[in-house]
Amino acid sequence: MPRTSRRTTVRHAVAALVVTLGVLTGCSGRGAGGGVPEAFEASPGVARAAVAVDAPVADLVAGFTDAAFDLLRTQPIEDNVVFSPASIGHAMLMARAAADEPTGAAIDAAFALPGGRSAHEAWNAIDLQIRAGADASPDVQASIADRIWPALGVQPDQAWIDLLASEHGTDVQALDLAGDPQGSRSTINDWVGEQTEDRIPQLLPEGFINGQTVLVLTDALYFTAPWVVPFEQDRREGEFTRLNGSTVMTPLMHQVRVADRHGRGDGFAAAEIPYAGGEFSMLVIVPDEGRFPDVRARLSGELLRSIDATFGT
């Protein structure tokens, strides 16, 4: 999840989200002939927007972060969980612009989205910030790749297409979702694989697309970079304690000092580990023994901000 500062934190190397939308107020019904609508192109003169100086970036980040922690707490506490708040929130933000009123209100409530176009302007600022951070170092690769895949004969609203092109950099490719669901699935999976350096080769499982699928919206986040201070190359076996108190021997990475920003909070230790180039970092929070459920329950954007404020070097 990107932070509001230039030192954007990317906590997950690769994540992707796909949303299938059965009904969109931003789409008309299936047209005659099943051809590809010309309106899939952005309107003449529509280009990627510059960053709006008053874009509510902090508000959008806060909403995405808190929604992600709420989602985390719906998962079994003993499970390992990896997902991307940026991908989930961004896909919902794009869907919000084409949703009917009840669905839009539910998305607004779940992600505490800023009103109107300002939420999209905030995303544009975040996306361009991530791209600029990656461009600043030859060792860093970071990309957010989005695409809309409507069924042939379904006409997305032109204003929606223009909004996603200008504030999200999103393009459109129509597919025969109903007539060739397997071929459409392969096309989408191949594209996502290309965008994520084949880290996500099979995003859509068998049978995911069917005759009722009107549109698929994909959001793929790819990030890779070396640490500023690499861990030792030799991994050593060490004892790891599971949540239930049992232990297991596993290879562990070692390094005396990998982070200048670190500290302790109520029931946990934390450190911010920088990637090469200094524009991205990973925040690691390690609960004290017996405090995992408590720390998990308190995870929020406010807790992350308090950790930042108390870090020492």
* Cα separation, 31 vs 9, whole angstroms: 44
Question: Is the residue at 176 inside a domain?
Answer: yes
Residue 265 belongs to what domain range? 236-310
- The closest of 283, 278, 282 to 134, measured between CA atoms, is 278
- φ/ψ bin of 197: left (φ > 0), alpha (ψ from -120 to 50), beta (otherwise): left
Q: What is the pLDDT of residue 171?
A: 86
Q: Mark whether 201 and 246 lie in a shared domain.
A: no
Q: Mark whether 281 and 206 lie in a shared domain.
A: no
Question: Is the residue at 269 inside a domain?
Answer: yes
Strands 280-287 and 8-9: parallel
Strand arrangement of the beta sheet that strand 171-172 belongs to: 14-21, 215-224, 141-150, 171-172
Q: What is the pLDDT of residue 23?
A: 39
Q: Mark whether 60 and 130 lie in a shared domain.
A: yes
Q: Mark whether 100 and 186 lie in a shared domain.
A: yes
Question: Is the residue at 1 inside a domain?
Answer: no
State the burial class of residue 225 (Cβ atoms within 10 Å of its Cβ: 0-12, 13-18, 19+): buried
User: Model pTM?
Assistant: 0.83
Angle at 226 between CA 222 and CA 232, to 5 degrees: 135
Express each pLDDT in 203-234 by its tens digit: 899 999 998 899 999 988 889 999 998 888 77
Question: Is the residue at 26 inside a domain?
Answer: yes
Q: Mark whether 203 and 272 lie in a shared domain.
A: no
Q: Mark whether 220 and 297 lie in a shared domain.
A: no
Q: What is the pLDDT of residue 188?
A: 94
Q: Tell me: pLDDT of 10 over 50.
A: no
Over residues 38-47, the mean pLDDT reads 78
Of 198, 224, 250, the one marking the end of a domain is 224
Q: What is the pLDDT of residue 313?
A: 60
Provide CB contacts within 8 A for 59, sequence distance 6+. Answer: 112, 114, 122
Look-up of token digits 């459920």: 293
Q: Mark whether 91 and 180 lie in a shared domain.
A: yes
Confidence category of residue 143, pLDDT binned at 50, 70, 90: confident
Q: Which of 14-18, 121-125, 155-159, 216-220 has the highest mean pLDDT?
A: 121-125
Confidence category of residue 185, pLDDT binned at 50, 70, 90: very high
Q: Tell me: pLDDT of 132 over 70.
A: yes
- The closest of 58, 54, 68, 60 to 4, measured between CA atoms, is 58
Q: How many domains does the chain have?
A: 2
Q: Mark whether 243 and 218 lie in a shared domain.
A: no
Of 190, 224, 258, the one marking the end of a domain is 224
Contact 284, 275 (CB under 8 A): no
Q: What is the pLDDT of residue 279?
A: 92
Q: What is the pLDDT of residue 40?
A: 74
The structure tokens listed for 107 are: 């998305």
Confidence category of residue 13, pLDDT binned at 50, 70, 90: very low
Question: Is the residue at 139 inside a domain?
Answer: yes
Q: Mark whether 198 and 290 lie in a shared domain.
A: no
Q: What is the pLDDT of residue 300?
A: 94
CATH number where 245 lies: 2.30.39.10
Question: Is the residue at 3 inside a domain?
Answer: no
* Cα separation, 192 vs 188, whole angstroms: 6
Q: Mark whether 61 and 187 lie in a shared domain.
A: yes
Q: Mark whether 117 and 182 lie in a shared domain.
A: yes
Over residues 6-24, the mean pLDDT reads 37
Confidence category of residue 42, pLDDT binned at 50, 70, 90: confident
> What percent of the chain has a predicted confidence (pLDDT) above 90?
54
Q: Mark whether 206 and 275 lie in a shared domain.
A: no
CATH number where 197 lies: 3.30.497.10
Q: What is the pLDDT of residue 299?
A: 95
Of 173, 199, 224, the one marking the end of a domain is 224
Question: Is the residue at 138 inside a domain?
Answer: yes
Q: What is the pLDDT of residue 231?
A: 84
